[in-house]
Amino acid sequence: MKKTFNIAAALILAAATSACTTETTSRATPFNLPLGGQSAEVVRIAPNFRVTKVNVTVPETLTVSEDNGIKPRADIVWREDPFGNRREQVKSVMEAGFNAGAKALDGARAVVLDVQLVRFHAQTQRVRYSSLPSKHEIEFLLTVRDANTGAVIVPSHMVNATFDALGGNAAVAADRAGITQRMRIGEHLAGVIYGELSKPITL
């Protein structure tokens, strides 16, 4: 069965919704006017990034749940891998997705991505094979730094990468086709990071 989700489609969608343009806007409020009476200007330019490294951290303070309920109260819920270190498992999922998305960028400025996980809430077994609607709730802090100087280019900010999960018959069909949660989440994160790194930045 042909995959219904793929990295190329995610990147095309991200590029379409994150147009890289250069624009200048004037602030009209008198509080922003400099002494010369000229309006202050904010210049937004299209970034020109090339990712050399992705640092993903999963803080030990994040809580983990193995409860098979509808929505366990925890920061990390992940069941597709065998029981083990869930923090390391979700870290590998995120690294794969971010690295895949970053490879599509071939700009001149080398940058490093610092990613700190805030929430990774995938499906429990109970929800995945039921008719209950569910989402993959993924949130993280993203900082972009110059790879040579370490200077912050894009300050740390929250990114919400939550998207709809498959459930019930759709989940069963995906399993039979070899489309795993890991694959879908990885492809989604690839599109998200591509979109984030393609957004105009303010000078």
118: closest CA among 96, 136, 139? Answer: 139
Angstrom CA distances, 14 to 155, 171, 197, stand at 21, 25, 10
Domains and CATH numbers, the chain: 7-11+49-197 (3.40.50)
Q: What's the pTM value of the predicted model, to 2 decimals?
A: 0.79
Which residue blocks in 68-180 are alpha helix, DSSP H? 86-102, 125-128, 168-177
The token pair at 88 is 């390391």
Residues in a beta bridge with 85? none
Name every residue whose Cβ is closer than 8 Å to that of residue 19 and which is 6 or more positions away in sequence. Answer: none
Q: In this predicted model, what pLDDT tens digit does every residue of 42-78 receive, in sequence order?
A: 677 878 999 999 999 999 999 999 999 999 999 999 9
Residue 130 is given by DSSP the state: S
Q: What is the pLDDT of residues 129-159, one digit of tens each?
A: 998 899 999 999 999 999 999 999 999 999 9
What six digits make up the tokens of 146? Answer: 């110059």
